[in-house]
Amino acid sequence: MSILGIGVDVVDLARFERAVSRTPKLRERLFAESERALPLRSLAGRFAAKEALMKALGQTDGIRWLDMRVVADAEGSPSLELSGRAAEIAAARGMRSSHLSMSHDAGVAVAMLVLES
């Protein structure tokens, strides 16, 4: 295996909260139904993870926000579940696995993603 791409993104929590408050439909556009009820700081981390994926893939044509969903395994470790155009691009680029880390503190949420081929 080799590194296919790396992506990182940082989200300002106050700015994210203002955007979601001003545009309530934003939750539906950006997040899968299973993600929407989470606290805003968790949603900000998931948004950062989705942005990090697009940076790591290097090609985003046709990807919809709902093509990417952050899920957790039995131990609570996050990973991305891809569908639609995101899954197509990942497969075409040769992505075999990914490693995701998310955190939020001091008014920011951050996500780091490494894709392997």
pLDDT in tens, 18-76: 999 999 899 999 999 999 999 999 999 999 999 999 999 998 899 999 999 999 999 99
Tokens of residue 15, six digits: 């700015």
Report the C-alpha gap between 97 and 11 in whole angstroms. Answer: 24
Element (H, E) at 104: strand 97-105
Decide: pTM greater than 0.85.
yes
pLDDT recorded at residue 30: 97
Average pLDDT over residues 82-97: 96
Superfamily of domain 3-116: 4'-phosphopantetheinyl transferase domain (3.90.470.20)
